[in-house]
Amino acid sequence: MYLVTVLGNLLIILAVSSDAHLHTPMYFFLSHLSLADIGYISTTVPKMIVDIQTHSRVISYMGCMTQMSIFILFGCLDSLILTAMAYDRFVAICHPLHYLVIMNSRFCGLLVWVSLFISCLVSQLQSLVVLELTFFLDVEIPHFFCDPSQLFSLACFKIPSNNIVIYFISAIFGGIPVSGILISYTQIVSSILRVPSSGGRYKAFSTCGSHLSVVCLFYGTGLGVYLSSTVSHSRRKAVVASVMYTVVVPMLNPFIYSLRNRDIKRAMWRLLKRTA
């Protein structure tokens, strides 16, 4: 699954960068989403594979902090790029005549850089909060990676001011991106419904079908894990559910975008023929 994820996302990045027909805002964001997915899955899975092979599930304190920090960085970047892609679809469908003016290369690059800056900020804030916590000498994390929520539950005592920071981070990590995506798709749906022909409505909706599928997978599984953990205290179920958004979703993204997109399929065939 790890190899399929890395190779699939690398193929999308190579196809977008090598084909001039795909040098558009939508595929620009898609290539950065693939890059974020590679970093996202590479934070947790290689360590898990090593643990399975060596039968040793030990991680140092600094190793745990580093893994958590990088995991939050790429997870937040994934979330913000999905939001940027939703805005791109909103402009393309609701303001098609101004699309090339609004979504110019400078603005697209700015969106990616701002997303990266916010992700680094959220990651550092979360790390600072966790570094203030006190743990016992030997702590067993009931997970296959250093999940921030598990670390908070294992702390000896909690500082009340940290809760404010956690709520702030949660708003940036989940609340703001989800709100932006919902607002964009509300405008998109209302605009599509005003299209007179059914063929035009289908064509307009098909351009954002892949993105909507990825959003539902990413946020549906992620929110499902954290909401279920508050209701159910089954550690095994929480770990199995976490595999969905840390391993399965990044693996499915290349398939969703390539199988439903003719331009990507053509670019991949041209790339494979060139390399052959």
Task: List, in order of start, the domains of the chain with CATH numbers.
Answer: 2-275 (1.20.1070.10)
pLDDT value, residue 232: 54
pLDDT digits (tens, 9 = 90+) for 183-231: 888 888 888 887 777 766 776 677 777 778 788 878 777 666 665 555 5
**Which residue matches tokens 């399975």?**
52
Q: What is the mean pLDDT of residues 87-103?
A: 88
Q: What is the mean pLDDT of residues 141-150?
A: 77
pLDDT digits (tens, 9 = 90+) for 241-255: 777 778 888 888 888
Q: Which range is most confident: 74-88, 138-152, 167-181?
A: 74-88
- Residue from 250, 173, 215 nearest 87 by CA: 215
Look up residue 108 and give its two tokens. 């697209």
Question: CA 213 to CA 255: how far, in whole Å?
Answer: 11
Length of the chain: 276
